[in-house]
Amino acid sequence: MTHQRILHLLRHGQANAEVTIQGWVRTKRELKDFSFVEVNDGSALANLQVILEPTLPDYSNLLSRLNTGASLQVSGILVLSPGQGQRIELKAQQVEVFGEADPATYPLQKKRHSFEFLRTIGHLRARTNTLGAVMRVRNACAAAIHQFFQERGFLWVHTPIITASDCEGAGELFSVTTLDLHKIPRNPDQSVDFKQDFFGKQAYLTVSGQLEAEIMALAFQNVYTFGPTFRAENSNTSRHLAEFWMVEPEMAFCDLEGDQNLAEEFLKYLFKSVLAACPEDMEFFNQRIDNTVLATADQIIHQEFARITYTEAIQLLEKAPKSFEYPVAWGVDLQSEHERYLAEEVFKRPMIVTDYPAEIKAFYMRLNDDQKTVAAMDILVPKIGEIIGGSQREERWEILEKRIQAQGMNPEDLWWYLDLRRFGTVPHAGFGLGFERIVQFMTGMANIRDVIPFPRTPLNAEF
């Protein structure tokens, strides 16, 4: 008999049906006439209660082996549950134990564990309620991202993980090399001779797939990337990872307004999809992690996002009846505290800020007619601050070349990027969404390290 997932049985299982389940023991309760074992298979937050009766073969030996963490297969009959909290339970007829777990050494016993402790057992933490719920939401969110773009005719493109260009110009790059670090080849001036390296020049792990996505958008109109990106930023905070996933759509024949509209529609779609796919998990986060999770989702889905310019945002911040740690003036980049004040206290809803000063934004953003600002947009949300950053791209060759030079970069390194502006250039726009940040925002989890299965952070590459 093929086994069935516990989520399906909890939602649709009928009394008197013969079923087989496989999973791991969460808890065991031994009573005089029978015993209960709670089994979880990762498909649902809830466990399925299994009733074991003394008539089972080798009953007492079986019970001694069914400790928390043990894996098993149970075949039996579904019965209506007389107890509170569950509709059905499984009356076992046959039990097979695959792997035991010694209660003296298995670290996940029935008690609350801190997230810090769980990070030290990354190979087991996915078996806990919270991390299980996080991973199901993460999965549903990833599926919704693909559905959103596929329904709209976007092409999913796989951009390179190894690159020779620093898209953001931030310089926080992981180097990729095959050079022997104990015998590094040198040029006469003692600089590293990268001509002897694998690619014949310096190479890095990518910080963004955007520039390559622009190439593809100028052939296919609408494309998106969804893959891993890397920042060698030595930040030990609850918001930073060295390896994370990015979603980056790029649209040809699109301006800043079209970019904003798509981004707002995108966020609404993601929240709606996850609420539909993982209602029990989202309810769990609302009860156990952050009691505003469901209200926040409702707000994203049903409220129109506020839209203001950077200049208007600065004026509002300058009039704020509170002082900020980072001073406010036209020309400074908005800090998280400024973004959160605007989203949480002024507008009390998600918002989009546009038209930032050119000096504080990347070279590829389109210069506005005022020559001072660029056609950029950031979406700010309560509790997080910026969640999406995007822009209309500079499609004019002469202006783009000047912008590259002004930022101290060599146009020859981006010859192909400039070429796109010489051969059939079009207005185009796109944005980037940090995938872990949206999962963190959805679930209310305080630390970004707890929304990715195996976090990569300074001094930590375990598991």
**Could you tell me the mean pLDDT of each successive run of 10 residues in the chain, 463 residues long?**
90 96 96 95 97 95 96 97 88 97 92 93 96 98 98 98 72 91 96 96 94 97 97 85 97 98 98 98 98 96 97 97 94 95 95 97 96 97 92 97 92 94 97 96 96 95 92
For residue 170, the model assigns a pLDDT of 56
- The residues with which 162 forms a beta bridge, in sequence order, are 205
**Distance of alpha carbon 205 from alpha carbon 201, whole angstroms:** 14
Single out the residue of 37, 79, 70 nearest to residue 56, CA to CA: 37
**Amino acid sitting at position 147:** Q
Give me the amino acid identity at 272: K
For the chain, what's the residue count? 463
β-strand partners of 48: 39
247 beta partners: 226, 433
Q: How many CB atoms lie within 10 A of CB 461?
A: 11
> What pLDDT score was predicted for residue 234?
85
Q: Characterize the bridge pairing of strands 48-52 and 88-99.
A: parallel
Which tokens go with 268?
């609404």
Stretch (H or E) spanning 307? strand 306-309
Alpha-carbon Rg of the chain, whole angstroms?
Answer: 27
Number of DSSP helices (H) and strands (E) in the chain, helices first: 13, 16
Residues facing residue 175 across a β-bridge: 204
Identify whether the C-beta of residue 15 lies closer than 8 Å to the C-beta of residue 33: no
Can you read off the two tokens belonging to residue 209? 């797939």
8 Å CB contact between 93 and 76: yes
pLDDT score at 82: 87
pLDDT, position 169 = 53
pTM as predicted: 0.95
**Contact 280/46 with Cβ under 8 angstroms?**
yes
